[in-house]
Amino acid sequence: MKTFFIFMVFLFFSIGEAYGFCGFYVAKGGADLFNNASQVVLVRNEDKTVISMMNDYEGAFKEFALVVPVPSVLKKEQVNVGNKKLFERIDSFTAPRLVEYFDEDPCRPNIVFDGMVRSKSMSLDRAESSPQSSKSLGVTVEEKFTVGEYDIVVLSAKESRGLEKWLRQNKYTMPKGVHRALAPYIKQKMKFFVAKVNLKKQAKTGLTYLRPLQFAFNSEKFMLPIRLGLINAKGPQELFVYVLTKKGRVETTNYVTTKIPTNMDIPPYVKKEFSDFYKAMFEEQVRKERMKTVFMEYFWDMGWCDPCAADPLTKEELKGLGVFWLDQGPSESGSPSFRRRSRSAPMMGGAQPVKVTRLHLRYTNKTFPEDLMFHETEDNRNFQGRYVLRHPWKGSARKCEAARRYLEHLPRRQEKEAQNLARLTGWDINEIRKKVDIAKPPKESEDPKKPDGKWWQNLWK
């Protein structure tokens, strides 16, 4: 019986709508907009690391297997079965968003509101007798245990061909040339975490999907292995990494990290085409960077947001994702700078000493030949991918002089929005202009009517 072999697999999530006071969100650029999308939550402080991954595997559970390089032999207490909903929460909180506003009547006195936009809120089967023993292949089963619906072994190996042969003999169907991908990890003396679904335990859960697996370990290296995941990949892969840290923004050290274009005004018709827009926008940025860049889509405190696409994660939710320092010593939320910021913004999730960086990349084995290496910077400037729709006021230039000035300026604004959209996506500017239906400036005959009589006659009416 053949077993489908996967090295790094994760799940992507749906997104919901949100609305706000002065404007409201109409869509979010969550991971579910992309094909072959993988997600991982990476928690890091000092040399302590927690990795959570959700499998997007589709097929018979008996054919699923997961193999991940890890820096040391993992014990049972270092492995956990997590909660799918927590991935949905962090995806929604950090997703790039489309925000919608409606122009006020230019003849109405301007009132400034001091407010913020708020959101709407593997059992490894017993190996058959094989022509070569594990010892002769240089493979050692370091640990063997069951966690939830997963049967797990942790392997060490002396030689990549021996490890490949051991996996084949234990009914894992190997992609061609897998030993070449395994070799660098063996050279680094890394171990291999192998999980397979225990069908009886899976049936008892009543779930139709595989729950996320989580690993906790110590390692001097702040990294994420991605090379093995490309062995049996068909075409470019999509990866979302949510990094939770204590102090600052996270970026890659062996690849360029670039902020996604943000705070751009685009035509209101994009509201109905947001999925197409965001995919085209990201593809255009990938093309410009020749698929060699890691894009940052979000960086913020987990205690507040301005504005919020979703409520920040609670302390319990963060702990569920592996944030381990929330109960250790005095909270950083007691620091003066954190308290001062808290008074100026809604604290929907409660002040938490946690930063979240959302990274997004599209890659192949040629454009990303190395695993992702990270470091935590001291940069604390907030960032979010945000795209703005501004609906024009529908009124007459005759109403007042301010209305005339507004309508004179409107065509220039609409043209700029169209050009922004063309630059972001690579779409044809002429096709965009057709959809925008750019307004025409008012004619002289549409000048505002002057009041009759003395100027003060209508002063208090």
At position 69, the amino acid (one-letter code) is P
pLDDT tens digits along 152-176: 999 999 999 999 888 888 876 666 7
Confidence at residue 7, expressed as pLDDT on a 0 to 100 scale: 47
Confidence at residue 232, expressed as pLDDT on a 0 to 100 scale: 65
Q: Is 192 helix (H, G, I), strand (E, B) or coil?
A: strand
| Mean pLDDT for the stretch of residues 128-142 | 74
Alpha-helix residue ranges (DSSP H) falling in 220-347: 274-288, 315-320, 336-343
pLDDT tens digits along 423-446: 999 999 999 999 998 888 887 766
Q: Is 135 left (phi over 0), alpha (psi -120 to 50) or beta?
A: alpha
Cα distances (Å, whole numbers) of residue 24 to 41, 87, 112, 116, 307: 28, 23, 17, 11, 10
Share of the chain above pLDDT 90, in %: 54
Confidence at residue 341, expressed as pLDDT on a 0 to 100 scale: 37
Confidence at residue 146, expressed as pLDDT on a 0 to 100 scale: 96
At residue 348, does pLDDT exceed 60? no
Q: d(Cα 266, Cα 67) in Å, to the nearest integer?
A: 43
Does the N-terminal peptide bond of residue 448 adopt cis geometry, omega within 30 degrees of 0?
no
Helix (H) or strand (E) holding 401: helix 401-425
Confidence at residue 208, expressed as pLDDT on a 0 to 100 scale: 87
Asked if 230 and 239 touch (Cβ cutoff 8 Å), the reply is: no
At position 322, the amino acid (one-letter code) is G
Q: d(Cα 74, Cα 11) in Å, to the nearest integer?
A: 23
pLDDT tens digits along 407-416: 999 999 999 9
How far does the chain reach from its first CA to its final CA, in angstroms? 87
Confidence at residue 31, expressed as pLDDT on a 0 to 100 scale: 83
